[in-house]
Amino acid sequence: QVQLVQSGTEVKKPGASVKVSCKASGYTFTSYGITWLRQALGQGLEWMGWISAYNGNTNGNTNYAQKFQGRVTLTTDTSTSTAYMELRSLTSDDTAVYFCALELGIRLDYWGQGTLLTVSS
Amino acid sequence: DIQMTQSPSSVSASVGDRVTITCRASQDISTYLAWYQHIPGKAPKLLIYGASTLQSGVPSRFSGSGSGTDFTLTISSLQPEDFATYYCQQANSFPRTFGGGTRVEIK
């Protein structure tokens, strides 16, 4: 069965970077894209970006929300069926649960369990 | 970017009630609209995609309708496990965008 398993809880200081992983199984990794989203406490779901797992973050195969442009990088490792989300220059506003999800065209069918990121000095 | 506006932001209802949530897109998105249920501490769950197609395994009390800019999610008879927050999301174009969410609370 399809599974997305994310890396564990992270605690970072302001200004630092974080890299969250999302290991996929149960389907052909390169057939679909991976979406990254987050939810801060008390806030709604926020779409961060999408990456095609077919050929990773080569030009034209990623899409980012304007809000995160220049601060987030999505990558994939097809040898391990793993997607990564790196977020830089962290502030307390980045404290949130981060999710990866498998995008089957027009829907997010399967989700990772979420990764809690806390940014605090 | 396409803006998605949900209403109401919260609703109080009792078990057995019919609940309707609306979602409006700032431009025509055809039927590229999905609905998700989110219970705190869990991953969001896909309920409806293509505006009206019920995801496999989702109870038939959930239904979706609409096209263009106006969409509706209906829960025909609210069950205890349905108390959650519901989000619409457009999949017509990048960046994907979500509505602000509708919290369904126990009356």
Which residue from A51, A20, A54, A23 is spatially nearest to A38, judged by alpha carbons?
A: A20
In chain A, the N- to C-terminal Cα span, in Å, equals 40
Indicate the DSSP class of residue A70: T
- Which residues of chain B have a CB within 8 Å of the CB of A72? none
pLDDT, tens digit (0-9, with 9 covering 90-100), for A39-54: 998 899 999 999 998 7
What is chain A's mean pLDDT, rounded? Answer: 93
Neighbouring-strand partners of residue A35: A50, A101
Q: How far apart are CA A10 and CA A49, in angstroms?
A: 20
**pLDDT < 70: residue spans in chain B:** none
pLDDT score recorded for residue B13? 95
DSSP conformation letters of B2-13:
--EEEE-SEEEE
Among candidates A45, A106, A113 on the partner chain, residue whose Cβ is nearest the Cβ of B32:
A106
Which residue from A117, A16, A103, A93 is spatially nearest to B89, judged by alpha carbons?
A: A103
Neighbouring-strand partners of residue A5: A23
Q: Is the pLDDT of residue A55 over 80?
A: no
* Contact assessment for residue B106 and residue B12, using Cβ atoms and an 8 Å cutoff: yes
Asked if B43 reaches chain A (Cβ–Cβ under 8 Å), the answer is yes
Q: Do A45 and B94 touch (CB under 8 A)?
A: no
Q: Which residues contact A70 (CB under 8 A, 6 or more apart)?
A: none
Residue of chain B whose alpha carbon sits nearest to that of A102: B46
Tell me the shortest Cα–Cα distance from A48 to chain B, in angstroms.
Answer: 8
